[in-house]
Structure 1
């Protein structure tokens, strides 16, 4: 604490002392009368005149402000004119075999052509019956960004067993391969994979249930707005990615995003896997520019007409999610046009990032309760097991 100054005693300051007579020279008196002291008012006027900027100074200030405003405007124009990652949302119809054996062969040949797909990450179909017949319901699983179909395994197999449904597991382009492959794909490639997944679902099932995790959930929301969405009986979104938790990620949807990535992240982005299977079935290092198509898809879906979606939708999320923004999940959920759209929090999830809410790799302890929530949802909308 600062020491408080000691107040001086008034008696000391104003002590009366004897007045001694002094003589004043006559010239001092004459000088005082001939040159009277200026009044306080006139002194203030002269001070104000001295402090007021001259016309030259005012002109200089205006010129500097004009230059500053012009510079800011020019920088804004240069920024807004910068390159933006553009997402082409147009996809094409794929000639997908209708015969079960031909369909499997077509899928296997396509994966084998790549030559480096991680075993266990391939596109595949799990049939409910040995004769590979079409089932009344089929499940299509869309995995998340950098992940593969092992992400929530065995959740979808268990759901399929309950519904006696066939399951199709896609593999988004660039995923489940060497790290460099992630940098060779576009967001359009993922939209095409998603469209193809629904078409395969329609081949193996009369109606389709779409399950998507993280960016797979984002793609599911895009799919629900496409022409063949009437074939979708329901969709389940697990931690849907409507925007990463880190707010600075929004810079990747604007001008100069590639340059910003290069400066802020470098040429490669990487993170640390939690266990061996996490490292095996996720791409945990990849070219940093591979983040651009992901953010472009997220923004496109966020800006889309979610209000037009009528598909019954279950959204599961963790309030503690460290990967995606729960606030943006809530915003998207409010906009959904579906009449049935339960939003359920999964508290205390096992995944260290509280993002992958089921599966043997990151959330073994949560798989049963997540499965239970989904089956309850199926019951609510009348989806039950079939012979």
Structure 2
């Protein structure tokens, strides 16, 4: 008998119907919509049609996440993309951490995506590879959420990280990194120089690997990994909006 997992309060997907320009926003690995909702709401206030999906296995319980694959996470984003395609003529995408990995993947698969905004996107996290050497009976690791510099701010994320899921994201990052040259749309690459989850070098790997003619790296020295809830939140919103408006 399969267990029914309830969606955590604050982890629910967010959508807003606006004009014919859409923005797909993705949260990261073990995280929830809560980390990206401020961006989604800010974009909606500007009249965009916005969707922030809850990735399968996320926002419920880490035991549910343990049974999902990176193809499931892609499917969640593809479904949101299809929803936007029905309503919009132009689509942009923004993502945090693995949400950035998903944005790169979607740009590879859907060249019609007009531009992407990546926030501490992950394509290479060497420290995660230690899971391949772990004993088979170790199912969960410590949490990786809430890497935030701003005092008093907490990310809604899992308190444990499934080993099986780490293996999935490692495979996904390898696939996306191998196809970086297929990304040709304009790209904004935000990076926190002090990030305790994704090495900041990822920004340069992405910058060097993508074939986009227009690309730039923006450093966020006042934020850690979850920059969308940190001191640079408004800056991310403002810079991303200006970037997307430029490419409408």
Structure 2 counterpart SS, 1:372: helix
Output one character per residue of 1:76-112: Cα deviation in whole Å (capped at 9) or x when no partner.
xxxxxxxxxxxxxxxxxxxxxxxxxxxxxxxxxxxxx
Deviating 4+ runs (over 4 angstroms) = 272-277
1:276 deviation in Å?
A: 8.9
Query: Normalization by structure 2: what TM-score?
Result: 0.88
Q: Distance in 2 between matches of 1:316 and 1:299?
A: 21
8 Å Cα contact 1:268/1:288 also seen in 2: yes
Match of 2:226 in 1: 356
1:213 deviation in Å?
A: 0.5
Q: Distance in 2 between matches of 1:340 and 1:309?
A: 11
Pairs within 5 Å for 1:283-362: 283-304=158-179, 306-349=180-223, 354-359=224-229
Q: Distance in 1 between matches of 2:205 and 2:16?
A: 35
8 Å Cα contact 1:268/1:286 also seen in 2: yes
Find 2:40's aligned residue among 139, 156, 162: 156
Aligned residues between the structures: 242
Q: Distance in 1 between matches of 2:191 and 2:134?
A: 28
Match of 1:240 in 2: 121
Shift of the 340–273 alpha-carbon distance from structure 1 to 2, 3 Å rule, reads closer
Q: Distance in 1 between matches of 2:67 and 2:157?
A: 17
Structure 2 counterpart SS, 1:122: coil
Residue 121 (str. 1) matches residue 11 (str. 2):
yes
Match of 2:129 in 1: 250
Match of 1:103 in 2: none
What stretches of structure 2 of length at least 5 have no aligned partner? none
Shift of the 179–248 alpha-carbon distance from structure 1 to 2, 3 Å rule, reads closer
8 Å Cα contact 2:192/2:225 also seen in 1: yes
What stretches of structure 1 of length at least 5 have no aligned partner? 1-112, 129-134
Residue 278 (str. 1) matches residue 131 (str. 2):
no
Find 1:207's aligned residue among 90, 94, 97: 90
8 Å Cα contact 1:165/1:205 also seen in 2: no
Q: Distance in 1 between matches of 2:8 and 2:40?
A: 20
Pairs within 5 Å for 1:136-151: 136-151=20-35
Query: Normalization by structure 1: what TM-score?
Result: 0.58
Find 1:229's aligned residue among 108, 111, 115: 111
- Greater strand share, structure number: 2
Q: Distance in 2 between matches of 1:202 and 1:331?
A: 30
Output one character per residue of 1:304-324: Cα deviation in whole Å (capped at 9) or x when no partner.
2x2222211111011111211
Q: Distance in 1 between matches of 2:96 and 2:145?
A: 18
Q: Distance in 2 between matches of 1:268 and 1:331?
A: 29
- Greater helix share, structure number: 1
Q: Distance in 2 between matches of 1:172 and 1:123?
A: 9
Output one character per residue of 1:17-55: Cα deviation in whole Å (capped at 9) or x when no partner.
xxxxxxxxxxxxxxxxxxxxxxxxxxxxxxxxxxxxxxx
